[in-house]
C-alpha cells in the first residue's frame, strides 16, 4: 500500500516521505526514507533479551515509543507535505499497545490520519463484513484521529463481490438484510438498531476500494485526506 501510494503520488507531482515503523520487516518493497530499523531491529531485540519473535515484537513496540522523539526529529529535517508511515501489520502491535499513542503524539496527532486496511477475504461474507467493521471501530476509538476506511487488494475480488461489499459499506440496512439471510449467523445477537447506532456514532463508513497491483483507488484516498485536512483544497505544487 505504501509503495503503490507513493508511486501514485510521484506521478501526480506530489512529494512524500516514506517511513517504515516495522522493526521486524525482512524486506520493504519500496525505498525507505526513514527506517525504524536504524534504531531498533527485531533480531537484535530477540538476541539481547532472549525472546521469541512474538515477545520481541511487543517489546520492540514499546522501544519504539521510547525512540519516537528521535524519529520525529529526523522527520522534521525533511521538507515535505506528506509522510507515508508504514506501521506493523498486526493490530495487536499498534492498535492495542499504548505505545502507539505515544508515537502518534510525537509525530503530531493534529496532522495525522489513519488509513485502515480491510481484508478482502474477510469482508466477502456478511458476517465477515460486520467483524471488519467492529475491528475498524476499535482502531478508530483507540487512536481518535481522522480515519480513512480502505478495502485493500480489491483486485482479488470479482466485480460482483466488489459491488456487494461497497453497497454494504454504504447502507448498514443492506448488510443487516444480508446477515439475516446467512444461515450461520446467530440472529438473536444483532438487530436493526445496532446497525443504525454504528452509523450514528460514525464507525460505519464507506469502504474505498484500492488495488496496489492495478494502481487504482489512490485518488479517492488522497481526496479523503485532502477533505479532512484542507477542506478539499489540493496541496499539489501547482
Residues 30-69 pLDDT 10s: 999 999 999 999 999 999 999 998 899 999 989 999 999 9
Residue 106: pLDDT band (50, 70, 90) is very high
**Residues 6 or more apart whose Cβ sits within 8 Å of residue 143:** 95, 100, 101, 104, 114
Query: CB–CB of 196/42 below 8 Å?
Result: no
Q: How far apart are the first and last CA of the chain?
A: 26
Among 87-96, 104-113, 131-140, the range scoring the smallest mean pLDDT is: 87-96
**DSSP for 151-185?**
ETTGGGS-HHHHHHHHHHHH-HHHHHHHHHT-TTS
pLDDT per residue over 174-212, tens digit each?
988 888 887 666 655 667 777 778 777 777 888 999 999
pLDDT of residue 155: 96
Cα-based angle 186, 188, 191 (whole degrees, multiple of 5): 110
pLDDT over 60 (residue 5): yes
Residue 236: pLDDT band (50, 70, 90) is very low
Average pLDDT, the chain: 88
How is residue 36 annotated by DSSP?
G
Among 108-112, 116-120, 191-195, 228-232, the range scoring the smallest mean pLDDT is: 228-232
pLDDT of residue 207: 94
pLDDT over 60 (residue 235): no
pLDDT per residue over 207-232, tens digit each?
999 999 999 999 999 999 998 887 64
Percent of the chain with pLDDT over 90: 61
pLDDT of residue 49: 93
What domains sit in the chain, N to C, each tagged with a CATH number? 1-109 (3.40.50.300), 113-211 (3.40.50.300)
Looking at per-residue pLDDT, the higher value among 98 and 190 belongs to: 98
pLDDT of residue 185: 61
Looking at per-residue pLDDT, the higher value among 233 and 210 belongs to: 210
Cα-based angle 140, 120, 131 (whole degrees, multiple of 5): 50
Amino acid at each position: 500500500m505504501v509503495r503503490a501510494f507513493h508511486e501514485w503520488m510521484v506521478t501526480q507531482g506530489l512529494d512524500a516521505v516514506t517511513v517504515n515503523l516495522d522493526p521486524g520487516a525482512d524486506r520493504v518493497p519500496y525505498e525507505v526514507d526513514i527506517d525504524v530499523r536504524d534504531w531498533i531491529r527485531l533480531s537484535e531485540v530477540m538476541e539481547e533479551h532472549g525472546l521469541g519473535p512474538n515477545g520481541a515484537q511487543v517489546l520492540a513496540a514499546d522501544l519504539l515509543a521510547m525512540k519516537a522523539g528521535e524519529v520525529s526529529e529526523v522527520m522534521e529535517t525533511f521538507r515535505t507535505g506528506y509522510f507515508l508511515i508504514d506501521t506493523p501489520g498486526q493490530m495487536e502491535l499498534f492498535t492495542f499497545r499504548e505505545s502507539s499513542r505515544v508515537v502518534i503524539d510525537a509525530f503530531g496527532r493534529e496532522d495525522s490520519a489513519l488509513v485502515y486496511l480491510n481484508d478482502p477475504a474477510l469482508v466477502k461474507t456478511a458476517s465477515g463484513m460486520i467483524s471488519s467493521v467492529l475491528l475498524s471501530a476499535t482502531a478508530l476509538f483507540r487512536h481518535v484521529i481522522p480515519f480513512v476506511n480502505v478495502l485493500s487488494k480489491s483486485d482479488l475480488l470479482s466485480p460482483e463481490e466488489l459491488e456487494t461489499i461497497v453497497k454494504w459499506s454504504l447502507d448498514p440496512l443492506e448488510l443487516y438484510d444480508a446477515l439475516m439471510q446467512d444461515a450461520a449467523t446467530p440472529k438473536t445477537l444483532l438487530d436493526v438498531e445496532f446497525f443504525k447506532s454504528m452509523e450514528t456514532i460514525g464507525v460505519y463508513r464507506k469502504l474505498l476500494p484500492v488495488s496496489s497491483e492495478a494502481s487504482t483507488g489512490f485518488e479517492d484516498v488522497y481526496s479523503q485526506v485532502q477533505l479532512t485536512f484542507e477542506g478539499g483544497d489540493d496541496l499539489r505544487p501547482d
